[in-house]
Amino acid sequence: MQFRQVQATLHSWLGIVVLWSGFLIFFTGSIAYFRTEINLWSKPEIFLYLKKPPPSFESAQVAYDYLNMHALEAKRWRVNLANSRMPFNTLEWQDKTNKYHKIQDPNTGLILKEVRESLGGDFFFKLHYSLYPLPDVVGRTLVVIIGILFLIALITGILTHKKIFKDFFVFRSFKGQRTLLDLHHITGVVTLPFYLIMAFTGIMIFFYLLMPWGINQQYGENGIKKFYNEIQYINPPKLAADSGIHLKEFSTFSSQLPQQGSNGTTLEKFEVKNPNTTEALITFDYGYKKLITFNNPQFIFLANTGRQLNNERNLHPVAQISSATYGIHLGYYASQSMRWVLASLGFAGCIMLVAGALLWQKKRIKQQHTLSYKIVSYLNYFTFLGLPFATAMYFLANRVLPTNLEHRVQYELLTFFISWIGILIIPMLIKMQKAIILAFIFTAFILLITVLSPVFLSPQAFILNTWLHQQWPIAGVDLVFIFIAIGYISACYYFRKIQMSKVNK
Amino acid sequence: MDKKKSEWLSIREIFYICLAAYAYSVWISWVLPDYLPFAKAENIYFSALLGFIFLIFYIVLVPGLHSKRWQKRINYLSYVLLLGYWIIKKIGEH
């Protein structure tokens, strides 16, 4: 067997092993690029308060004052300041018993109650990196293993093809297996750099899960925190012994902060550790614009004295690589248009996987009555059609479940997983060809219902209303749903056309 | 996978190659931090990085070896290496 044939065999085996889980990770990761917009979309009650956010220092002052009054006993505060994507402050704090997550109007300081509980876009982010609701460590470890195997499948895929760039310019439509192969090549070549980078940076972010022994040997058990402190900072900030207990006024810090960071960004978030204790530290972070590393402008102060601390970043090339793996993978540097590009590449990768899976099936059509073939075709249906359907159902659940329902988040998740598993009933009852068409129609229908449902339930969230008020982050989500629904209906039409042409032959 | 191909490179063989690749890369990430010239954290990160790169190339290249016997020998060496290092470390601790 020649080297290229070996690579082809490896590509097929590893490809089929990571195919479905890979699709889940790509799909949810691509959606997660817009998790902020989806988070906003998933809380229609706050749309009534939507206004242009004030300058970031004013938002920060409002949030700081609120927390200093209502979260005195907390271990930590975290505040993401209002910006054009999310025009509200998000406040998080944790005391001895509970974790709190509140949304605040940055103009008035009002905490927006009566807001429905929903994970919104964060659910897809969690599903992407930890296969939520699996236990965190198990989920992350599985994702890293899938990432490695996928990366090897990519490399062997490159080595398999003799004429990779020539193939890129060839697409033969309505030619069965040939069409699938061309589609696999084109999407594969287009997304290759993106996925090589994403897979490798994803693996390196969680390297300590597969190779923890180096850290354990040098830092002892549970030394991860120390390791990350050292790789991020040369001199981690040290506390002063003489500081008091009470936090300083916000103006003490804001007067020492620049209006813009060195990369032209404004203040984005701040965090207070151990507020109202002698160990209180406040950290101000500016944006990541123009930065592929996590070395954004950052200022740390002793929160009780207002004295700025030295927090020299570790700029060693290896530390920079470590920082860049996060920056590149999470895409915080990306503008809105760049996020669209990244998400589109992610979805193109999903198409590559679908084409690869169907190709695998087509090549083995003679074995269609064997159990293994049937399992593969059901898994394909479950993943490629079931996951988008379950996603549509999750969005619909966000719109139709009562606002004050107790454990609402769990019901949303239940809707997602039950509809995902439930979709398998369709191919069990009718032929696979018809089941595919039905899945397309159902998904399109659910998406359209999701867009239309606010007419009666929460009129302020109806697309015409958000459009008229130029609330683009929200209207954009609904528009994408309409666009996808139309795409699904068209796909359904073409799928029928292909089936009809086969029957006529 | 047709029968002829699966006889040549089965999923079981690929699994053992992956396992051996992992054993080698763990060994690299474990041993190398003591010998690299950077600071402690950078050494750990860099050895893990090298470990992953080695793992990927091992899985891509080792199945290309014509001799099955040599494939197995190279795979076994990884277990010997890892186990040997662990035993030596344990003895050293006492």
Separation CA A370–CA B22 (nearest Å): 34
Chain CA centroid to CA A500, Å: 39
What is the pLDDT, as a whole number, of residue B63? 92
Does any domain span residue A165?
A: yes
Report the complex ipTM: 0.90
Does any domain span residue A284?
A: no
Question: Are A256 and A301 contacting, i.e. CB atoms less than 8 angstroms apart?
Answer: yes
Tens of pLDDT, residue by residue over A487-504, are 999 988 888 777 777 666
Chain CA centroid to CA A327, Å: 14
> Pairing relation of β-strands A281-286 and A308-309?
unpaired
Does any domain span residue A392?
A: yes
The DSSP 8-state label assigned to residue A82 in this structure reads P
Least confident stretch, A101-105, A159-163, A320-324, A465-469: A159-163
For residue A12, which residues of chain B lie inside 8 Å, CB to CB? 1
Q: Whole-model pTM? A: 0.92
Does any domain span residue A414?
A: yes
Q: A184: burial class by Cβ within 10 Å (0-12, 13-18, 19+)?
A: buried
The verdict on a CB contact (< 8 Å) between B8 and A1 is yes
Q: Does B37 touch chain A (CB under 8 A)?
A: no
Tell which A residues from 117 to 156 touch B, by Cβ distance under 8 Å.
148-149, 151-152, 155-156
Region A134-163 average pLDDT:
92
For residue B43, which residues of chain A lie inside 8 Å, CB to CB? 214, 218
The verdict on a CB contact (< 8 Å) between A214 and B14 is no
Question: Are A56 and A267 contacting, i.e. CB atoms less than 8 angstroms apart?
Answer: yes
Query: What tokens does A66 get?
Result: 């609120």
Q: Which residue has the higher pLDDT, A166 or A89?
A: A89
Query: What tokens does A337 get?
Result: 């248009």
Residue A177 has pLDDT above 90, yes or no: no
Output the average pLDDT for chain A: 91
The partner residue sitting opposite B44, judged by closest CB among A3, A148, A215, is A215
Does any domain span residue A281?
A: no
Report the number of distinct structural domains present in chain A: 1
For residue B52, which residues of chain A lie inside 8 Å, CB to CB? 148, 200, 203-204, 207, 211
Q: Could you count the other beta carbons within 10 Å of the beta carbon of residue A240?
A: 12
Q: How confident is the model at residue A242 (pLDDT cuts 50, 70, 90)?
A: low
Residue type at A323? S
Question: Are A103 and A86 contacting, i.e. CB atoms less than 8 angstroms apart?
Answer: no
Does any domain span residue A405?
A: yes
What is the pLDDT, as a whole number, of residue B93? 79
Separation CA B56–CA B78 (nearest Å): 15
Q: Does B30 touch chain A (CB under 8 A)?
A: yes
Q: How confident is the model at residue B5 (pLDDT cuts 50, 70, 90)?
A: very low
Tens of pLDDT, residue by residue over A402-453, are 999 999 999 999 999 999 999 999 999 999 989 999 999 999 999 999 999 9
What is the pLDDT, as a whole number, of residue A66? 95
Does any domain span residue A272?
A: no
Least confident stretch, A24-38, A365-379, A470-484: A365-379
Question: Are A202 and A147 contacting, i.e. CB atoms less than 8 angstroms apart?
Answer: yes
For residue A152, which residues of chain B lie inside 8 Å, CB to CB? 56, 59-60
The verdict on a CB contact (< 8 Å) between B42 and A215 is no
Q: How confident is the model at residue B6 (pLDDT cuts 50, 70, 90)?
A: very low
The partner residue sitting opposite A211, judged by closest CB among B9, B26, B63, is B26
Residue A162: what are its φ and ψ, rounded to 5°? Answer: -80, -40
Does any domain span residue A51?
A: no
Q: How confident is the model at residue B1 (pLDDT cuts 50, 70, 90)?
A: very low
Query: What tokens does A251 get?
Result: 């103006």
Chain A, nearest residue to B64 by Cα = A3
The verdict on a CB contact (< 8 Å) between B52 and A207 is yes
Which of A294, A318, A363, A373 is the mutation pick for testing B, counting most B CBs within 10 A? A318
Q: Which domain holds residue A447?
A: 3-41+141-206+336-504
Sequence-ordered list of residues with C-beta below 8 angstroms from that of A458, at least 6 positions apart, any chain: A44, A45, A399
| Percent of all residues in chain A with a pLDDT value above 90, rounded to a whole number | 70
Q: Does B65 touch chain A (CB under 8 A)?
A: no
Which of B30, B38, B50, B60 is the mutation pick for testing A, counting most A CBs within 10 A? B60
N- to C-terminal Cα distance for chain A?
A: 38
Q: Could you count the other beta carbons within 10 Å of the beta carbon of residue A313?
A: 17
Q: Does B53 touch chain A (CB under 8 A)?
A: no
Distances (CA, A) of A61 to A81, A148, A382, A460: 10, 45, 49, 29
Chain B, nearest residue to A12 by Cα = B1
In three-state secondary structure terms, A92 is strand
The verdict on a CB contact (< 8 Å) between B48 and A214 is yes
What is the pLDDT, as a whole number, of residue A241? 63
Cα torsion through A101, A106, A112, A115, rounded to 10: -70
For residue A203, which residues of chain B lie inside 8 Å, CB to CB? 52
Q: How confident is the model at residue A203 (pLDDT cuts 50, 70, 90)?
A: very high
Region A155-179 average pLDDT:
81
In three-state secondary structure terms, A373 is helix
The partner residue sitting opposite A151, judged by closest CB among B41, B44, B56, is B56
The verdict on a CB contact (< 8 Å) between B60 and A156 is yes
Chain A, nearest residue to B50 by Cα = A204
Q: Could you count the other beta carbons within 10 Å of the beta carbon of residue B87?
A: 10
Tens of pLDDT, residue by residue over A58-92, are 999 999 999 999 998 899 999 999 999 999 999 99
